[in-house]
Amino acid sequence: MNTIYLDNAATTAVSPEVLQAMLPYFTEHYGNPSSVHATGRDARKAIEAARRQVAAAIGADPAEIYFTAGGSESDNWAIKGAAFMNRRKGNHIITTAIEHHAVLHTCGWLEKQGFEVTYLPVDAEGRVTPEQVEAAITDKTILITIMAANNEIGTLEPIAEIGKIAKAHKILFHTDAVQAVGAIPLDVKAMNIDMLSMSAHKFHGPKGIGVLYIRKGVRIDTLIHGGAQERGQRAGTENLAGIVGLGKAIEIATTDLPAKAARLSALRDRLIDGILERVPDVRVNGPREGRLPNNANVSVRYIEGESMLLRLDLAGIAASSGSACTSGSLDPSHVLLAIGLPHEVAHGSLRMTLGSETTEAEIDRVLEVLPGIISDLRSMSVLNKDTSTVTDEVFYHGKK
Ligand SMILES: *Cc1c(COP(=O)(O)O)cnc(C)c1O
């Protein structure tokens, strides 16, 4: 039985074309790109070709693309680098309560170094407004860092509008676009983005390779010190095969993006609508419009997300109960709490994220299996209409 893999927000399969593009760079073309001999020069050429592929995908210049070891490093570098470079100008950073931990924990560490961070609250669907961002700006603000798309509930943030505000106030704007690259169109110039993080393994590339886009003229401190790689800004012998894989993966992911996004959105809606039709007492987390094409997130009343996961796993379906980073811990997701869900409801959440290989038949299989699992678990649950502290009003937040 093939696994139905619906955890593409956690990581994706490396696509066959990406793997094929990478293989020669482990064997034939293994040179160090800093070497002057022909083997080294071949490696250098491959890296610069990948840099052009990335730049083309987000409307940047190749000279604005820096390879890193992934999304977490890119977030750390952008935020710490901007904070320390600008600390004479000010010490205030604006972000949101629903960022990935790579952003939140970096901001938390900076608070210990004397920086001040505003964590903007979000509405019931996970959105911040440009007005909130503008109102939080002080004469000490040096950085705004707000994600393009949320990894748990799929909410798309108004990045272009926030970019406009940041530009008008001459404040650096970084966006964690790890979930957005390859899912929605991105143009760093049109959106006034100064720095953007991405990670190959979220768009069918390999793990351990990412990019930080840094707009020309923006200067941030170095995070990884050492050799002169990446124009002296990020030391370490380049992850050659990884970089080649990232380049190929982003090229594939952004080719015919609107058609691919439309296909996934239709499957996503088939999944969400199918669950709502077949299972009573389910709420959708995140907006119906303005959400990632591949993200479905629901809370199922009276039962635990973890128990649904285990039962789905037995049925050959891979899903998630929130973010992979928080599952295994008993704390409910900070994102679900930030949209106002009580702990009990947050614990009953299930995230299913589609990928380029997901088929309609797989979605239909999930719709066949999931209602039975839920009614089974409900029959065994200690929570029910009489014991639950959560009312209809709380559960549905005014919408059904
Ligand atoms: C996965 C993810 C990251 C971390 O990227 P890694 O490459 O796994 O370090 C950061 N932000 C978001 C929104 C993510 O989904």
107 a catalytic residue: no
Which numbered atom of ligand 1 lies nearest the CA of 147?
13
Token readout for 41 is: 């020069």
Token readout for 175 is: 């966006």
Q: How many CB atoms lie within 10 A of CB 242?
A: 23
From 178, 195, 201, 239, the mutation candidate for ligand 1 (largest count of ligand atoms within 8 A of CB) is: 178
Q: Measure Cα distances from 19 to 8, 14, 198, 247 in Å.
A: 18, 7, 19, 12
For residues 306 and 321, the answer to whether their CB atoms sit within 8 Å is yes
Q: By C-alpha distance, which of 304, 74, 352 is closest to 199? A: 74
Residue identifier of the C-alpha nearest atom 6 of ligand 1: 71
* Ligand 1 touching residue 178 (CB < 6 A): yes
Distance 291 CA to ligand 1 centre (A): 18
* Ligand 1 touching residue 70 (CB < 6 A): yes
Show Cβ contacts of residue 25 under 8 Å, excluding neighbours closer than 6 positions: 43, 46, 240, 241, 244
Distance 9 CA to ligand 1 centre (A): 9
Q: Measure Cα distances from 380 to 96, 302, 316, 388, 391 in Å.
A: 38, 10, 22, 14, 20
Q: Model pTM?
A: 0.96
Q: Mind spelling out the 3-state secondary structure of 178-229?
A: CCCCCCCCCCCCCCCCCEEEEEHHHCCCCCCCEEEEECCCCCCCCCCCCCCC
Q: How many CB atoms lie within 10 A of CB 55?
A: 20
Distance 78 CA to ligand 1 centre (A): 14
Sheet containing 65-68: order of strands: 65-68, 210-214, 195-199, 172-176, 141-145, 92-96, 116-120
* Ligand 1 touching residue 202 (CB < 6 A): yes
* Ligand 1 touching residue 320 (CB < 6 A): no
From 179, 211, 353, the mutation candidate for ligand 1 (largest count of ligand atoms within 8 A of CB) is: 179
Q: pLDDT value at position 329?
A: 59
For residues 300 and 279, the answer to whether their CB atoms sit within 8 Å is yes
Which numbered atom of ligand 1 lies nearest the CA of 202?
1
Distance 27 CA to ligand 1 centre (A): 29
Domains along the chain with CATH numbers: 4-10+256-379 (3.90.1150.10), 16-253 (3.40.640.10)
* Ligand 1 touching residue 176 (CB < 6 A): yes
pLDDT digits (tens, 9 = 90+) for 59-97: 999 999 999 999 999 999 999 999 999 999 999 999 999
pLDDT digits (tens, 9 = 90+) for 294-314: 999 999 999 999 999 999 999
State the catalytic residue, choosing from 325, 359, 384, 400: 325
Token readout for 14 is: 């490396």
Token readout for 254 is: 């952004």
Q: What percent of the chain has pLDDT over 90?
A: 91
Question: Does residue 281 carry a pLDDT above 50?
Answer: yes
Residues in the chain: 400
Q: pLDDT value at position 183?
A: 98
pLDDT, average across residues 371-375: 97
Helix (H, G, I), strand (E, B) or coil at 173: strand
Distance (Å, whole) CA 122 – CA 153: 12
pLDDT digits (tens, 9 = 90+) for 149-205: 999 999 999 999 999 999 999 999 999 999 999 999 999 999 999 999 999 999 999
pLDDT, average across residues 122-139: 98
pLDDT digits (tens, 9 = 90+) for 317-356: 999 986 444 445 568 899 999 999 999 899 999 999 999 9
Phi and psi (nearest 5°) for 145?
-130, 110
Residue identifier of the C-alpha nearest atom 10 of ligand 1: 71
